[in-house]
Structure 1
Amino acid sequence: MIGILFHGPEVFDSGWGRQIIDTMKTKDDLRCVLAGTMGRTAVFDSGIDGIEFWNQMPSACLSELASEASLILIVNFAKSAEAGLVFGGMVVERSGVTVPVVQVECSGPFWVEWVDGCDPGLIETLHRMGLSRRAPKPVASSIWQADGNLYRRMTTAGAGDFIFVDGIMVGRATGDVVTLISRDGQLCEIQGADVKAHGLEKLERFGGVDLQTAKLASSPTIRRTAKQPRIMKTTGNGLVFIDHAGMHVYELTGDVEGAVTVGDDTTVVVGDILSRFQIPVIGIVDGDEDVILENGRFASGSAKLTVRADDRFGMKVFDEIFNHEKQIGIPFEEALRKIVKLAGDDLVNLQTF
């Protein structure tokens, strides 16, 4: 069996994902796995079936695939060839797998054999697909400790890129190298970036961060390639409360009528994803959107409430409307009326879609 680990939306938006699957399924049985929330959205838009969503780090997915696959392909579409090599090397190193691993880097396009032993016939197939061969690049150590702090360096960021830690935007890169520093599980400094204090506060509220295992990402936008969204009508009851970057939006919003989202970026990301299922959102924002997703869409019936401080009012909604539960059974319109009334003088603007 060939295991295929896909990463990111661009693999599918570009058409490479379907091409890889169609080609490799003639070679052997496949097990296809995806890492990444926006990648899942791209899979949905592409209409490709048979891809599993494990909601794990890429290295963990690789390790699990290695337990049953005779060969693993990592299929990625990085913003540059260099970034693609760094990503592949780090994922393979952290996974510790020993089965043959080949990375197909669609941004090249090229392929890299990270763990030797790949079938020569498959190598020939990659060449026929127009992929050139690149040598593996040694992975430089990116995590170290000093003076009671834990340091982790990102070397694939570009000036202007948003920096994400476990899906939460914490700053914007000012150069090519960004170093994150934590102490006692709290992110306390980011070198090489303009820090977004709001993001650090969210990380702290969600229990801090372990830089050893945290998922780091940098990108000028969370979906660099445009794709016509696929629309599917769903029905459900009640509302779910989402106050983070929406990494688990698919798990949280099954069979619901709508969602309440807190934060400008969270609202635009979750709203865009749920628009595909015609699920409206009540977005609580305060106008500090960083445009991590351009041209986001909202389902008909959605509403965006601009308040003076979205986090503070969001917690008030969670306390008084949701009663500290992540999901409640009241209808969408009733919830909207209650939230607007609760906002009172804090409500700066109400926009409906």
Structure 2
Amino acid sequence: MIINNNIPGFQGGLSIPTHILTLIFHGADVFDYGDAARLISLLHPRLSLVAGVMARTAAEESGLPVIYDGRRPSEILSEYQSDQAVLIHRAKTNASAHRFGSLIHSHLKDRGLILIDPGTCQIVTWGVVDPSLSTWLSEITGYPVVSGNYHESSPPDTRVIGGCLPGEPVFVNGIIIGFATGEEAVISLQDGTIQAVSGIELKDHGVEKLIRFGCPDVSKAWCKSGNIRISRPKKGSQKVQEGHVVVIDHSAMACFGAFDPDICGLVTIGDDTTSICGHIGCSRGIPVLGITDGDIDGIVPEGYAPGSVILQVVRERDDELGIEIAEKVPIEPVVWDIWVEKIIRELGDRVKVMHRE
């Protein structure tokens, strides 16, 4: 899905050697709303890089000449001078645009930062940047240049997740730990678990899953609010019928590492893990055998590759049954459809088939 966002065309002005410019795109929305295509056309960068898991999916589906870089935006930016690289991210609100940019800039030491935000139609700067470059970008895009707000560091073992909309899911390391009740969700790490300070209603099952994988340093964890992607994935044909099966247990963002050429499918444990892995695998032709219990939060539009089957447990939790099924995954290659049907027969009335692709 492409949504017009009315970026103006070139309006004339300063002459800047655009061949030295690198664009770093973050988030799926910059591709799904058409921002990346328009800005690449306007700015003619020498290089366009993509940061973020769902951004990678959206970028691949867009067909644009971009290169995926698995590092965080600040790590990529640190390799460039401030007049050679520009960060592009579509924020939901003005507050979230400034908080996002401020957090990125806080990891760049003395380097300045230019952020183009098509969501709020502005160019935001932090630190010392080349004024001729920011002026040129403003003339090209039609966006005004504004100074970025700085946010104070959180107390130890505390994290402020800004730019939230009430009711949105809040993620820590890819796991939904609750839902925002205000513009800022504040959490803290106390006694080895996550506690709500303000602006969030915790989801006990989500916190439990996060702790099971090792309670993170909340000051450095990957945190965000809102849906991961707005667009349905493109559907590809099933990649291979016979190959290895990989288990993804409540850690959907790890599924990219499983997409080896000899993979025939994924066993995904958890509702949101299943929907995310199904979405990511859809265009790649990688089916999933999803183990769910009906606790889905709808964070991505669902889409599954051919051969996918979604099961819902009847009397158990997806965690326990998922682990049991994971133990049945053989080391040797299998024929996906035959192996999936074998698992379904063995489980009997312990599961219901909710969807087949």
Note whether the superposition's TM-score is higher than 0.5.
yes
**Distance in 2 (alpha carbons) for counterparts of 1:139 and 1:175:** 17
Name the SS of the counterpart of 1:152 in structure 2: strand
Q: Which deviations, in whole Å up to 9, do the C-alpha atoms of 1:178-198 show, x marking residues without a partner?
A: 111113553244532221112
- Residue 253 of structure 2 aligns to a residue whose secondary structure is coil
When structure 1 is superposed on structure 2, of 186-195 and 240-249 the one drifting more is 186-195
Out of 161, 168, 171, the position equivalent to 1:164 is 171
Give the drift of 1:212: 1.6
Structure 2 unaligned spans of 5+: 1-19
Deviation at 1:285, TM superposition (A): 0.6
Shift in Å at residue 228 of structure 1? Answer: 6.5
Q: Do the aligned partners of 1:45 and 1:227 also contact (CA within 8 Å) in 2?
A: no
- C-alpha displacement of 1:86: 1.1
> In the alignment, does 2:140 pair up with 1:136?
no
Give 5+ residue unaligned stretches, structure 1.
none
Give yes or no for the alignment of 1:57 onto 2:63: no
Q: Deviations over 1:98-148 (max 9, x none)?
A: 2x421101112110222323261562243232111112212222x213xxx
Within the candidate set 38, 50, 68, 1:34 is matched to 50
2:344 is matched with which residue? 340
Partner of 2:323: 315
Does 1:120 pair with 2:132?
Answer: yes
In the TM superposition, residue 70 of structure 1 has moved relative to its aligned partner by 4.8
Q: Is the 8 A contact 1:8 1:76 kept in 2?
A: yes
Whether contact under 8 Å (2:134, 2:145) holds in the other structure is no
Match of 1:352 in 2: 356
Q: CA deviation at 1:239?
A: 1.3
Matched, 1:234 2:245: no
1:14 alignment counterpart: 33
> In 2, distance between residues paired with 1:169 and 1:344?
30
Deviations 1:243-270 (A, max 9, x none): 1241122221232111111111111111
Instruction: Give the one of 85, 102, 122 matched to 1:89.
Output: 102
- Give 1:253's aligned residue: 259
What amino acid sits opposite 2:248 in the alignment?
Answer: I
Give CA deviations for 1:266-303 in whole Å, capped at 9, x if unaligned. Answer: 11111122111222111101111111123x11122211
| TM-score w.r.t. length of structure 2 | 0.86
Q: Aligned partners of 1:106, 1:113: CA distance in 2, in Å?
A: 14
Rate the CA distance shift 1:163–1:287 in 2: closer, same or farther, 3 A.
same
Question: Which shows bigger deviation, 103-112 or 175-184?
Answer: 175-184
Name the residue aligned to 1:153: 160
Are the aligned partners of 2:233 and 2:279 in contact in 1 as well (CA < 8 Å)?
no
Note if contact 2:289-2:340 (Cα within 8 Å) is conserved in structure 1: yes
Is 1:109 paired with 2:116? no
AA aligned to 2:127 is V
- CA–CA distance in structure 2, aligned partners of residues 229 and 130 of structure 1: 32
Q: Deviations over 1:140-185 (max 9, x none)?
A: 22x213xxxx211222111011000011111111122211111355
* 2:249 partner amino acid: D
Secondary structure of 2:123's counterpart equals strand
Q: Decide whether aligned partners of structure 1 residues 110 and 351 sit closer, same or farther in structure 2, where only a CA change above 3 A counts.
A: closer
TM-score by length of 1: 0.86
Q: 1:349 Cα shift?
A: 4.0
Counterpart check, 1:187 vs 2:194: yes
| SS class of match (1:78) | coil
- Correspondence for 1:175: 182
SS of 2:159's partner is: strand
Q: Output the aligned Cα RMSD.
A: 2.3
- 2:107 partner SS: helix
| Matched pairs, number | 334
CA distance in 2, matches of 1:14, 1:81: 18
Change (3 A) 1:328 1:198: farther
Bigger shift: residues 343-352 or 163-172: 343-352
Aligned to 1:153, the other structure's residue is in SS state strand
Change (3 A) 1:328 1:275: farther
Matched residues, percent identical? Answer: 28
Q: After superposition, what is the alpha-carbon deviation per residue over 1:330-349, rounded to whole angstroms, capped at 9, x for unaligned?
A: 22123313422442442244
